[in-house]
Amino acid sequence: MPSPSTIQTLTQLSYLIAAALFILGLKRMSSPVTAVSGVRWAGVGMVLATVVTIGFMGASPLNLGLVLAAIAIGGIVAWVSGKRVAMTDMPQMIALYNGMGGGAAAAIAAVELYTGTETNVVHLTMATIGGFIGAVSFSGSLIAFGKLQGLITKSVRFGGQKFVNLAILLICAALGFMMVSGTQSGAPIVSAFFGFALLLGIAMTLPIGGADMPVVISLYNALTGLAVAFEGFVLDNAAMIIAGTVVGSAGTLLTQLMAKAMNRSLSNVLFANFGETSSAGTAGVTGTQKAIEASDAGVMMAYSQKIIIVPGYGLAVAQAQHKVWEMAQLLIDHGVNVRFAIHPVAGRMPGHMNVLLAEAGVPYDLISDLDEINAEFDTADVALIIGANDVVNPDARSNKGSPIYGMPILNADKAKNVIVIKRGQGTGFSGIDNALFVLDQTRMLYGDAQAAVGQLIQAIKAAG
């Protein structure tokens, strides 16, 4: 066994290399061509840091056994679930893994605080803040997972909710202050502190509607990063400080980009109880939805010049991405100019639709984002909306009473014809009526997205 100072140096060097690999890996993930190598570089860094730590951390045989058993349990369960999960369920899996990271950061803080031997006020403060953020991210991410997985279907809202949350936050702050200042410490205080922090994560996330989940998951991702960085300070671990902070700042930027795409501030997402005002704001939507048969819709599409397809969460739910690309290829063979228009917040995560279309094999150059495609709806013969709702609601442009007023939308209503594939006549996840569905040029094709697209394929083939 090398000397303690050599061990220290080797460990720190391995962390330095790991941190560099994480940053380079994230950098390589910024281009589709190098992206896979990017995650592998980061993976090498992770394995290096883990192996060196296990080798040099000087655990007793019992503790070493526990470490290896815990890694085996957590690793195997995550490996199997990660390999099995359908692409469409990715958002909730990321929320779940992210919550686990937050929980781990909280556990590190809990070990420090329950041990009670730490007297350095700076370290105690860092451990407390990191533990708080980690616990909130843990329980909040679990609620987000439950909502996206359909385990929690109600958004719990009540009057004065903000004040209840504020009260919980203040209790956490008071308990945290007691632990740091040493006026009152001991296991009951520490337990109460973590109990209230977990409660806050639940209380904060329960009222948030499904349409806002992308922003929330991204926010918790950034928060977990910060929690890891704080615990890194406590443990004098540079790899945790660097990796946690990089994720914290990157995640914050990503969260802002997403909130901006919905034209809402982050505080609005978290505290406005989205959806409560929708009943008042939808009085402007009048008219009836007009249905169309798949056979008629198929003929219309087969003889079009230009079709823009707008996918949404409904496509993910129905796992319709492969059918949609099959249909698009058929149309392209017919000489139709087919494009895919992706709204930044379509689905339940940013880029959710891009991942699904990539899975089906749709080439990048057919996929356009909001800025690129919006001028082209004017010249489109058909805008085919597959399971999207709020992102094509013209009320966002024109109806000041609408809760989504001001959100940038895809101008599908400018197309000559609009075909909407939708499961039923109800409103979408956010509970807002859609003015697009009752326009003169709009026809509704009711049914599961995969089944409906299958019928369209038959109709297009029949049309010759």
Partner 1 sequence: MIDGVIALYIFMLAAFTGYEVISRVPVILHTPLMSGSNFVHGIVLVGAMVALAAADTTLLRAIGFVGVVLAAGNAVGGYVVTERMLKMFVTAARKKGA
Q: Does residue 451 interact with partner 1 by CB under 8 A?
A: no
As to burial, measured by CB atoms within 10 angstroms (0-12 exposed, 13-18 middle, 19+ buried), residue 25 is: buried
> In the window 58-77, what residues touch partner 1 (CB under 8 A)?
58-60, 63-64, 66-67, 69-75, 77
Q: Does residue 212 interact with partner 1 by CB under 8 A?
A: no
Q: Do the Cβ atoms of 377 and 383 come closer than 8 Å?
A: yes
Q: DSSP class of residue 440?
A: T
Q: Rounded to the nearest whole angstrom, what is the least distance from the CB of residue 51 to partner 1 in the complex?
A: 10
Q: DSSP class of residue 108?
A: H
Spell out the residues 6+ positions from residue 234 whose beta carbon is closer than 8 angstroms to its own: 108, 109, 112, 118, 123, 126, 127, 130
Toward partner 1, which CB reaches closer, 152 or 250? Answer: 250
Q: Which stretch binds partner 1 (CB under 8 A): 201-209, 215-223, 312-320, 451-459?
A: 215-223
Residue 236 zone, left/alpha/beta (φ > 0; ψ -120 to 50; rest): left
Q: Which amino acid is at 107?
A: A
Q: Which stretch binds partner 1 (CB under 8 A): 101-109, 282-290, 297-305, 438-446?
A: 101-109
> In the window 158-187, what residues touch partner 1 (CB under 8 A)?
187
Q: 88, 139, 155, 237: which one contacts partner 1 (CB under 8 A)? A: 237
> In the window 3-42, what residues touch partner 1 (CB under 8 A)?
8, 12, 15, 18, 22-23, 25-27, 29-30, 32-33, 35-36, 38-40, 42
> In the window 126-155, what residues touch partner 1 (CB under 8 A)?
none
265 token code pair? 């501030």
> In the window 362-401, what residues touch partner 1 (CB under 8 A)?
362-365, 367, 369
Q: How far apart are CA 153 and CA 161, in angstroms?
A: 19
> Phi and psi (nearest 5°) for 442?
-95, 135
Question: 365, 369, 381, 390: which one is catalytic?
Answer: 390
- C-alpha neighbours within 13 Å on the C-beta side of residue 422: 23
3-state secondary structure of 142: helix
3-state secondary structure of 60: coil
Q: Which stretch binds partner 1 (CB under 8 A): 143-151, 247-255, 331-339, 412-420?
A: 247-255
Q: 147, 323, 352, 443: which one contacts partner 1 (CB under 8 A)? A: 352
Toward partner 1, which CB reaches closer, 38 or 387? Answer: 38
Toward partner 1, which CB reaches closer, 85 or 173? Answer: 85
Q: Do the Cβ atoms of 180 and 112 come closer than 8 Å?
A: no
Q: Do the Cβ atoms of 273 and 247 come closer than 8 Å?
A: no
3-state secondary structure of 381: coil
Q: How far apart are CA 442 and CA 434, in angstroms?
A: 12
Q: Which stretch binds partner 1 (CB under 8 A): 107-115, 150-158, 307-315, 329-337?
A: 107-115
Q: 107, 272, 299, 438: which one contacts partner 1 (CB under 8 A)? A: 107
How many residues bind to partner 1 according to rule CB under 8 A? Answer: 119
Q: How far apart are CA 282 and CA 433, in angstroms?
A: 6
Q: Does residue 55 interact with partner 1 by CB under 8 A?
A: no
Q: Rounded to the nearest whole angstrom, what is the least distance from the CB of residue 200 to partner 1 in the complex?
A: 19
Q: Rounded to the nearest whole angstrom, what is the least distance from the CB of residue 211 to partner 1 in the complex?
A: 16
Q: Does residue 439 interact with partner 1 by CB under 8 A?
A: no
Q: What angle do CA 438, 328, 416 make, to 5 degrees?
A: 35
In this structure, the strands spanning 382-386 and 442-446 are unpaired
Q: Which stretch binds partner 1 (CB under 8 A): 153-161, 227-235, 438-446, 451-459?
A: 227-235
Q: Do the Cβ atoms of 95 and 123 come closer than 8 Å?
A: no
Q: Is 390 a catalytic residue?
A: yes
Q: Rounded to the nearest whole angstrom, what is the least distance from the CB of residue 394 to partner 1 in the complex?
A: 23
Q: Does residue 430 interact with partner 1 by CB under 8 A?
A: no
Q: Does residue 121 interact with partner 1 by CB under 8 A?
A: no
Residue position matching structure tokens 């993976």: 43
Toward partner 1, which CB reaches closer, 224 or 402? Answer: 224
Q: Which stretch binds partner 1 (CB under 8 A): 151-159, 226-234, 390-398, 452-460?
A: 226-234
Strand order across the beta sheet in which 417-422 lies = 367-369, 337-342, 306-311, 382-386, 417-422, 442-446
Q: Does residue 209 interact with partner 1 by CB under 8 A?
A: no
Toward partner 1, which CB reaches closer, 136 or 444? Answer: 136
Q: Does residue 97 interact with partner 1 by CB under 8 A?
A: yes
Toward partner 1, which CB reaches closer, 259 or 285? Answer: 259
Spell out the residues 6+ positions from residue 365 whose beta carbon is closer than 8 angstroms to its own: none
Spell out the residues 6+ positions from residue 2 whose beta carbon is closer than 8 angstroms to its own: 10
Q: Does residue 299 interact with partner 1 by CB under 8 A?
A: no
Q: Which residues are catalytic?
A: 390
